């Protein structure tokens, strides 16, 4: 079923609007949605008890805050006024991602080290010129096909992006222009990290990367994906200061959102007041959890984040959970809020979480949804799609599978379709003895 959608900005976040004629269809579609209907028959049969349990809980509980647009600022690029072009370049495997803001009338060119100039024909308004994101935003990706103009013997050693829309043309050196020979360590996912199924169907391409969908649990994943070294370079101090932190400015809606996450695990505090956060980021959630009486610990993969959170008085250490042996303690609650989509091995994190929870403790994961409105309607043009950074887009089935396969009992699955976000709460079963604790 195709539903016409228009896009509008509202309160700094993205909402999908609909034509009146489609509202009834959407309502019917929403009413038809259930966990089971999102899952292929094979996985429904296998997961039926958990899904039924989750549906009962969903039906029994009213979310603390009604679904609405994401509280996060959607624009993550360099901040500048339209009269002051700003550019950011990020080398990712065999591509260079460039984001910037410049007047719409600007000429965007790439000057190669041999003096040739190429028009940057990949320029486009993000994501589809339909109206959200700054109007003067552009994003383009370059790979060696563009930089060589099809002649692999003419590969440039250096290249400069030039934006000429003002009295003084703005330029930025493209860092570390990768050559075809530099493409190393690309990983193919031969089985689904969530459910172990081995049949994945191509879903689309963006930034010269391909995403596939697991045919059993509907997890959407980047495969093949850049080697870890290439994705980790993204999480730099500049990224943290210029792209991430501006999106984390505390507002009433963001605080309400954080509280709605913490409300999900509030009951577990009576079991243990220790809370672990994966991907502390700017520390807003951990700080709020501390205010609410939790003793909080956490990790982040970005040194700038750890420094920032530590300066806020939080107990945070630098660690890449993909290589961690443990979460460093026993916890009543473990929270991953908009971080698991960046993790290369989510099954490893879930196993560590299951080990680290005390019996009765709860894991809450809130992440990017593969079942939200913009992905459903815009596919790979959706603003949530960034396959070099968001390595996974989660379905209800994939989150249930991740938790169940690690011995956690699913308590709750909830989705915010309009914000393309999904969450799950799962408990450490009290009938499973944990020799690490007892």
Determine, following the binding rule CB under 5 A, whether residue 211 of this chain makes contact with Zn ion. no
**Contact letters (x/-) for Zn ion, 234-273, by CB under 5 A?**
----------------------------------------
Part of the chain binding Zn ion (CB under 5 A), chosen from 159-167, 193-201, 228-236, 427-435 = 193-201
Part of the chain binding Zn ion (CB under 5 A), chosen from 128-136, 191-199, 258-266, 383-391 = 191-199
Contact present, 298 and 281 (Cβ < 8 Å): no
Q: Both tokens of residue 92?
A: 């990712």
Nearest residue to 272 (alpha-carbon basis) of 352, 361, 364? 361
Part of the chain binding Zn ion (CB under 5 A), chosen from 107-115, 186-194, 249-257, 414-422 = 186-194
Determine, following the binding rule CB under 5 A, whether residue 402 of this chain makes contact with Zn ion. no
Please give the residues from 55 up to 84 whose contact with Zn ion meets the rule CB under 5 A. Answer: none
Part of the chain binding Zn ion (CB under 5 A), chosen from 53-61, 209-217, 317-325, 354-362 = 209-217
d(CA 178, CA 319): 28
Single residue of 51, 147, 189, 217 touching Zn ion by CB under 5 A: 217
Determine, following the binding rule CB under 5 A, whether residue 197 of this chain makes contact with Zn ion. yes
Q: Give pairs for 255-261: CB < 8 Å, separation 24+.
A: 255/288, 256/65, 256/71, 257/65, 257/71, 258/284, 258/285, 258/288, 258/337, 259/64, 259/65, 259/288, 260/63, 260/64, 260/65, 261/285, 261/335, 261/337, 261/364, 261/366, 261/423
Single residue of 214, 262, 350, 368 touching Zn ion by CB under 5 A: 214
Nearest residue to 409 (alpha-carbon basis) of 51, 62, 64? 51
d(CA 388, CA 179): 18
Determine, following the binding rule CB under 5 A, whether residue 219 of this chain makes contact with Zn ion. yes
> Pairing state of beta strands 295-300 and 274-278?
parallel
Nearest residue to 182 (alpha-carbon basis) of 211, 143, 148, 153? 143
Enumerate helices (H) and strands (E) in the chain, giving the number of each.
11, 20
Single residue of 87, 120, 195, 261 touching Zn ion by CB under 5 A: 195
Part of the chain binding Zn ion (CB under 5 A), chosen from 138-146, 189-197, 318-326, 336-344 = 189-197
Determine, following the binding rule CB under 5 A, whether residue 194 of this chain makes contact with Zn ion. yes
Determine, following the binding rule CB under 5 A, whether residue 221 of this chain makes contact with Zn ion. no
Nearest residue to 365 (alpha-carbon basis) of 347, 384, 340? 340
Provide, rounded to whole angstroms, the least separation between the CB of residue 193 and Zn ion. Answer: 8
Determine, following the binding rule CB under 5 A, whether residue 216 of this chain makes contact with Zn ion. yes
Provide, rounded to whole angstroms, the least separation between the CB of residue 93 and Zn ion. Answer: 24
Which CB, 261 or 401, lies closer to Zn ion? 401
Which CB, 81 or 196, lies closer to Zn ion? 196
Nearest residue to 305 (alpha-carbon basis) of 353, 391, 232, 244? 244
Which CB, 98 or 220, lies closer to Zn ion? 220
Contact present, 331 and 272 (Cβ < 8 Å): yes
User: Which residues sit at the interface with Zn ion, rule CB under 5 A?
Assistant: 192, 194-195, 197, 214, 216-217, 219
């Amino acid at each position: 079923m195709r539903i016409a959608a228009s896009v509008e900005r509202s309160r700094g976040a993205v909402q999908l609007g609909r034509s009146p004629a489609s509202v009834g269809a959407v309502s019917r579609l929403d009413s038809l949605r259930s966990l089971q209907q999102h899952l292929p028959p094979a996985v429904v049969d296998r997961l039926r008890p958990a899904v039924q349990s989750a549906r009962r809980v969903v039906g029994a509980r009213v979310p603390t805050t009604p679904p609405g647009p994401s509280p996060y600022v959607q624009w993550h690029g360099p901040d500048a006024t339209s009269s002051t072009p700003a550019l950011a370049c990020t080398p990712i495997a065999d591509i260079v991602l460039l984001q910037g803001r410049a007047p719409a009338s600007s000429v965007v060119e790439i000057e190669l080290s041999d003096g040739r100039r190429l028009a940057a024909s990949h320029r486009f308004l993000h994501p589809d010129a339909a109206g959200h994101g700054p109007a003067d935003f552009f994003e383009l990706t370059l790979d060696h096909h563009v930089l060589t103009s099809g002649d692999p013997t003419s590969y440039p050693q250096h290249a400069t992006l030039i934006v000429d829309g003002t009295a003084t043309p703005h330029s930025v050196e493209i860092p570390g222009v990768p050559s075809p020979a530099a493409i190393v360590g690309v990983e193919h996912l031969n089985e689904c990290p969530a459910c172990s199924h081995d049949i994945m169907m191509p879903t689309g391409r963006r930034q010269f990367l391909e995403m596939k969908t697991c045919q059993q649990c509907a997890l959407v994943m980047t495969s093949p994906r850049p080697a870890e070294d290439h994705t980790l370079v993204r999480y730099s101090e500049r990224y943290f200061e210029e792209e991430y932190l501006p999106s984390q400015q505390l507002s009433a809606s963001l605080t309400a959102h954080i509280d709605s996450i913490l409300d999900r695990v509030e009951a577990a505090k009576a079991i243990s007041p220790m809370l672990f956060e994966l991907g502390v980021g700017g520390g807003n959630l951990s700080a709020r959890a501390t205010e609410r009486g939790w003793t909080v610990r956490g990790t982040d993969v970005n040194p700038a984040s750890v420094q920032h959170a530590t300066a806020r008085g939080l107990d945070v250490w630098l660690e890449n959970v993909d290589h961690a042996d443990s979460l460093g303690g026993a916890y009543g609650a473990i929270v991953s809020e908009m971080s698991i989509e960046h993790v290369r091995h989510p099954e490893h994190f879930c196993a560590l979480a299951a080990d680290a929870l005390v019996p009765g403790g709860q894991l809450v994961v809130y992440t990017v949804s593969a079942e939200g409105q913009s992905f459903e309607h815009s596919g790979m043009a959706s603003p949530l799609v960034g396959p070099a950074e968001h390595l996974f887009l989660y379905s209800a089935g994939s989150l249930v599978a991740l938790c169940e396969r690690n011995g956690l009992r699913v308590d709750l699955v909830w989705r915010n379709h309009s914000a393309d976000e999904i969450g799950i709460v799962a408990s450490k079963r009290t009938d499973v003895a944990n020799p690490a604790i007892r």
